[in-house]
Amino acid sequence: MTRLASLVLLAIFLAAGIVPAASERGQSPPSLPTYTDDGKLVFPANYREWIYLTSGLDMSYSPNGMAGHSIFDNVFVNPEAYREFTRTGTWPDKTMLVLETRVAATNVSINKSGHFQTGELMGREVHVKDEARFPGNWAFFGFDDKDTAKMVPHEAACYSCHEKHGAVDTTFVQFYPTLIEIARGKATLSTGYLTDEKTLSSSPKTSKPSSNR
Amino acid sequence: MTRLASLVLLAIFLAAGIVPAASERGQSPPSLPTYTDDGKLVFPANYREWIYLTSGLDMSYSPNGMAGHSIFDNVFVNPEAYREFTRTGTWPDKTMLVLETRVAATNVSINKSGHFQTGELMGREVHVKDEARFPGNWAFFGFDDKDTAKMVPHEAACYSCHEKHGAVDTTFVQFYPTLIEIARGKATLSTGYLTDEKTLSSSPKTSKPSSNR
C-alpha cells in the first residue's frame, strides 16, 4: 500500500468513527447543566467523579457553630470548569459546583479518635453559573434526595453573602486550598474578599485537634 | 477540492498532530505507576485530578489521638482503578491510592467555627498495587516534598495492619463511604475485616461537633 493510500484509509476510518470515541477511552461526557421543561435543574449524578476541591468539618458562619451531629462538607466541580479556572483564575460559563454534606463518625474498626465520613448523606446543593439564564449569572439549587430541584430564589441570603464575601466570582475560593493561590496569581480576587482580608482575620488560625474522641 | 483531496488533507493534519491530542481535549493520560531506574516511585503529580474517595480529621489508631495541629487527610485513586472497583468490588493491578494530609484552620473570612483545609501540606503517601513487583502485591511510599520515594520496607507495621484490618485487599475501604457498600454487595470484604466487624464496634458512633471553635 502506498503512503497516500494509507493516509486515505486512516482518514476514512476516522470519518467512519472506527477510531474509538473519547468516552470509550475513559473520558467522561461533558458536564453541562441540564434543566427540565419547567426550569428545574437535573442533579449531576456523576459528581463524585468530578474534580474534588475541598472538605470542611462543622463549618459555620456562626461562632456558636452547629448543633447535633458532626458534619463533613465536600465540594466538587465539573472538570471543564476546573481546567478553565487553573488557566484563567476564574469560572467559565456553565460551571457547576456541588456541595455534599455527610454525617461524621468516630471509633469504628481501627479508628480510635478523630472523625471520618460515613455513607449517610445529609444534603446536596449545586451552585451553577449560567449567564443567559440567571440574574447575577449564578443560581443555587438544594436537592435533598430528589433528582431535580427548583432554583433557590435570588432574594435568599446565600446570594448576597456569596456576592459580598466570595473570593472569586461569588464563590468561596478562599476555602479551596489548591485554587486560592491561582486566583491571587491571576489577580481575580474580588474587591469584597480583598476588603475582608484587611478587616477580618487576615491569616488562618491553625485549629487544634478536636476533643471529640 | 475533491473529497479524496479533503480526506488526504485531514489524514496529513492528523499525522502531523494538528488535530488536538486527547489530553488537550480534556482527557487525562493513563495513570500508571512509574519508577526510576533504581526502583523509586515517581509521585503522580496530577493526583488532585483523580477520583476523590474520602477525608478525615485527626484520625488516629490511638484513643489519645494526635498532638499539635489539627490535620485533614484526603484520599484519591486513579480513575481506571476506581472504575474497576465500582464494577468488581476490588482493586485491579496498577491501582494507586494517594493520601495527602493538610493543616486545618478555623475562623478566617466568613468562617467562624469548625475546620477547613489550608494550602499547607503535611505529607503525601502512595499505596500502589503492582503484582509483579511487590511481595503481597502492594507497597507504600512516603513522599514528603520530593518527587520520588523509596518503598517503605515490607517489615513496617503499616503493611501488617493493612493486611489484617483492611476491608478490601489490604486497603481501608471501610472509610470510603461510596465504596464500602459496593464491596459488601460484591462480597469482596476481607475475612479480617468481617471478623473485626463482629468483635470491634459494629456500627459507627456518630461524632458530635468538635469543641474546637
- The model's confidence at residue B29, banded by pLDDT at 50, 70 and 90, is low
Residues of A in contact with B74 (CB under 8 A): 52, 55
Q: pLDDT 10s per residue in chain A (213 long)? A: 444 444 443 343 333 333 333 333 344 556 899 999 999 999 999 999 999 999 999 887 666 555 567 999 999 999 999 999 999 999 999 999 999 999 999 877 667 778 999 999 999 999 999 999 999 999 999 997 789 999 999 999 999 999 999 999 999 999 999 999 999 999 999 999 999 988 865 555 677 665 443
Contact: B212, A210; criterion CB under 8 Å: yes
B170 phi/psi in degrees, rounded to 5: 65, 15
- The residue ranking higher by pLDDT, A112 or B212, is A112
**Contact yes or no for A72/A57 (Cβ under 8 A):** yes
Residue B53: CB atoms within 10 Å:
25
Q: What span, in angstroms and rounded, lies between the C-alpha atoms of B75 and B175? A: 10
Q: In this predicted model, what pLDDT tens digit does every residue of B70-100 receive, in sequence order?
A: 999 999 999 999 999 999 999 999 999 999 9
Q: What span, in angstroms and rounded, lies between the C-alpha atoms of A68 and B12? A: 65
Q: What percent of chain B is predicted at pLDDT more than 70?
A: 75
How many residues are listed for chain A in this entry? Answer: 213
* Predicted local distance difference test score (pLDDT) of residue A60: 73
Over residues B148-165, mean pLDDT = 95
* Predicted local distance difference test score (pLDDT) of residue B113: 77
Question: Which of B117, B203, B211 has the CB atom closest to A54's CB atom?
Answer: B117
- The model's confidence at residue B25, banded by pLDDT at 50, 70 and 90, is very low
Q: What span, in angstroms and rounded, lies between the C-alpha atoms of A99 and A102? A: 10
* Predicted local distance difference test score (pLDDT) of residue B42: 96
DSSP symbol at B55: E
* Predicted local distance difference test score (pLDDT) of residue B65: 54
| B64, amino acid identity | N
* Predicted local distance difference test score (pLDDT) of residue B207: 72
Q: Indicate the SS3 state at residue A166.
A: coil
β strands within chain A, DSSP E: 41-42, 51-60, 71-77, 96-106, 113-129, 138-142, 148-149, 205-206
Over residues B114-127, mean pLDDT = 93
Residues of A in contact with B203 (CB under 8 A): 108
ipTM of the complex: 0.81
- Give every CB contact of residue A69 below 8 A, 6+ residues apart in sequence: A103, A104, A122, B206, B207, B208, B209
Residue A79: CB atoms within 10 Å:
19
**Contact yes or no for B57/B116 (Cβ under 8 A):** no
Distance from CA of A60 to the nearest CA of B (A): 5
Residues of B in contact with A61 (CB under 8 A): 110-112
Instruction: With CA atoms as reference, report the closest residue to A208 among B116, B108, B56, B212.
Output: B212
DSSP symbol at B9: H
- The DSSP element (H or E) to which B183 belongs, if any, is helix B180-186
* Predicted local distance difference test score (pLDDT) of residue A212: 41
- The residue ranking higher by pLDDT, B68 or B11, is B68
Cell numbers for A8: 486515505
Q: Indicate the SS3 state at residue A86.
A: helix
Q: How many CB pairs under 8 A join A and B?
A: 285
- The residue ranking higher by pLDDT, B19 or B74, is B74
Q: What span, in angstroms and rounded, lies between the C-alpha atoms of B114 and B57? A: 11
Q: What span, in angstroms and rounded, lies between the C-alpha atoms of B143 and A167? A: 31
From first CA to last CA, the distance across chain B in angstroms is: 72
- The model's confidence at residue B213, banded by pLDDT at 50, 70 and 90, is very low
Q: What percent of chain B is predicted at pLDDT more than 90?
A: 64
- What domains can be seen in chain A, in order of their start residue? 31-153 (3.50.70.20)
Residues of B in contact with A58 (CB under 8 A): 113-115, 209-210
Distance from CA of A151 to the nearest CA of B (A): 24
Instruction: With CA atoms as reference, report the closest residue to B72 among B51, B55, B54, B50.
Output: B55
Contact: B108, A174; criterion CB under 8 Å: yes
> To the nearest 5 percent, what fractions of chain B are helix, strand and coil?
25, 30, 45
- The answer for B 4-63 residues in CB contact with A (under 8 A) is 4, 7-8, 10-12, 14-15, 22, 25-27, 48-49, 51-52, 54-63
